[in-house]
Chains A and B, each alone.
Chain A
């Protein structure tokens, strides 16, 4: 497909477990964003990757959250020692250019439920 894909679509885990969420951006897109959307809330920025530059991690809520992007393409968001408040939909987006002018293409999201 030509769009942004995310896996898994749904993830149920127990409190204290680690989870990994994957994002495949659109081929050729240099920018990749992770957001968190809690029930009834807007999108909370988590982290931003642009090419080979150091990522902007300013939105990560705690040191339990980390992300990497391998080869400038696929990205993995890892949440360690999950808590119930981590339950949310995690959205990934990619865009062509740098800066805020480029529109973002969003994936379908991963719904994370922490029991």
Chain B
């Protein structure tokens, strides 16, 4: 079965704090892809990152970083020195070579950054 779990429903942090959003996935595919999307209050989902299952290198992009660990089936997302503009719902998603091109999204984590 393909499944994405984002156990944190809502998180609030004070501006400039670091925050980590958890994502745990389940898949039987040996080749799969993991994604993070941001959904700001305006509603339109914005792509943040894609990672394939063969690349476990962590990635940093500005204040964003991602920690992919196949051993724990996790793909966590950290925002460093959070800002009010980071307030949004963040979705983790999974797709696999054998899932008929379907994408499986988690239920999202709503992040509120308090000024």
What residues of chain A lie closer than 8 Å to B95, measured between beta carbons?
A: 99-101
Interface string of A93-113 (1 = CB under 8 A from B): 100001111011111110000
Residue contact A100 to B99, C-beta cutoff 8 Å: yes
**How far apart are B59's CB and chain A's nearest CB, in angstroms?**
15
Residues A103 and B35 in contact, CB atoms below 8 Å apart = yes
Within 8 A of A (CB), among B77-115: 91, 93, 95-97, 99-108
Is the pair A103, B50 in contact by a Cβ cutoff of 8 Å? yes
Contact B100 A109 (CB under 8 A): no
Which of A13-21, A40-48, A67-75, A76-84 touches B? A40-48
CA distance A33 to B37 in the complex (A): 16
Residue numbers of A with Cβ under 8 A of B are 31, 33, 35, 40-43, 45, 48, 50, 56, 58-59, 89, 91, 93, 98-101, 103-109
Q: Which residue numbers of B lie inside 8 Å of A, CB to CB?
A: 4, 6, 32-33, 35, 37, 42-47, 50, 52, 91, 93, 95-97, 99-108
Report A-chain residues with C-beta under 8 Å of the C-beta of B43.
89, 108-109
Distance to closest chain A CB from B100 (angstroms): 6
B100: chain A residues at CB < 8 Å are: 48, 56, 58
Q: Nearest Cβ in chain B — how far from A93, in angstroms?
A: 8
- Is the Cβ of B52 less than 8 Å from the Cβ of A101? yes
* Docked-complex contact B47 and A105, CB < 8 angstroms: yes
Task: Tell me how far the C-beta of A29 lies from the nearest C-beta in chain B, rounded to whole angstroms.
Answer: 13
23 contacts between A and B (CB under 8 A): A31-B101, A41-B107, A42-B4, A42-B91, A42-B106, A43-B93, A45-B105, A50-B101, A56-B100, A56-B102, A58-B102, A98-B101, A99-B95, A99-B97, A99-B101, A100-B96, A100-B97, A100-B101, A101-B50, A104-B45, A104-B103, A106-B45, A108-B42
Instruction: Pick the most buried of B32, B35, B97, B101: most chain A CB atoms within 10 A of its CB.
Output: B101
A42 neighbours in B (Cβ, 8 Å): 4, 6, 91, 105-108
Q: How far is the CB of B86 from chain A (nearest CB, A)?
A: 19
Min distance, Cβ B104 to any Cβ of chain A, angstroms: 7
